[in-house]
Amino acid sequence: MNKDLLHNKVIREVLGRVHSGQYGVGCKLPAERTLCAELGISRGTVREAMSNLASLGVIDIRHGSGAYVCQIQRESIPSSLLPQDFNDVTISDILIARKAIEMAAVELVCKRITAASIKELRRLIECMETSLDNLPLFLKYDMDFHYAIIRAAGNRPLEMAFAAIYEYHKYSMVFTSRHPSDEETAMAYHRRMLDAIERKDVADATAAVSEHLETMVEMAKKSSSSRRKKVK
């Protein structure tokens, strides 16, 4: 297995343990040498994966102490949009909110898309394709693609709503992309979205967005079900 795939293996394993409840918020992760032994991977690869998990906001690396599982960051979310108990927000809730925003945006995009926006969306698809072996980078370009659609809609309130819950988006992206086939599935939906937008086919574009996010909702439900069984 090449270095990039080994690197992703570590990221997926840690994400799986966090979402299953094995590593709770504030929990200190095992030492690098322990993870190396458990996963059969070199220390350099584990260290690189830890760095990327930190950049995703999943863990906090405290020099001289270790790596700790983070609570989802709230700083960029207006208090009026936060639930009373942030921990009660499910990934399904997040994805339903995304669907409401993105369905409205893509309908507008089909009517207002410009050549420059098409070029940008095509570039981001290419970046996703070249980042299939680098999960953090793939997730970044994936989110950039969705953000580009929101901006191309030319509706400032929709763009502000999307930006306001950015941390929720990041959370949903990280915890619903945990298997090697997930990126290929996402690529297929993104290509379909771009094709429909280029054809200005509102029905197909909105269907592609809806099906893409519904797939993520189902993945989230399965993960939550596995977590509940583990807790019992």
| Helix and strand counts by DSSP (H, E) for the chain | 10, 2
Same topology for domains 3-69 and 79-231, yes or no? no
Inter-residue contact 6 to 134 (CB < 8 Å):
no
Dump pLDDT digits (tens) for 40-55: 889 998 998 899 888 8
pLDDT of the residue at 182: 82
The CATH H-level superfamily of 79-231 is: GntR ligand-binding domain-like (1.20.120.530)
Dump pLDDT digits (tens) for 56-105: 778 899 988 999 998 655 554 455 445 445 556 677 788 888 899 999 99
Sequence ranges of the domains in the chain: 3-69, 79-231
Rg of the chain over Cα atoms, rounded to whole angstroms, equals: 18
Q: Report how far residue 25's alpha carbon sits from residue 22's, in angstroms, rounded to the nearest whole number.
A: 10
pLDDT band at 5 (very low <50, low <70, confident <90, very high): low
pLDDT band at 127 (very low <50, low <70, confident <90, very high): very high
pLDDT of the residue at 11: 82
Bigger pLDDT: 166 or 151? 151
Q: Mean pLDDT over residues 136-141, rounded? A: 82
Query: What is the fold of 3-69?
Result: Arc Repressor Mutant, subunit A (1.10.10)
Residue 94: count of CB within 10 angstroms of its CB: 25
Q: Of 8-12, 106-110, 219-223, which gets the smallest average pLDDT?
A: 219-223
Residue 21: pLDDT over 90: no
The pTM of this model reads 0.69
Dump pLDDT digits (tens) for 164-218: 777 666 666 666 666 667 888 899 999 999 999 999 999 999 999 999 988 887 7
Phi/psi at 142 (5° precision):
-60, -50
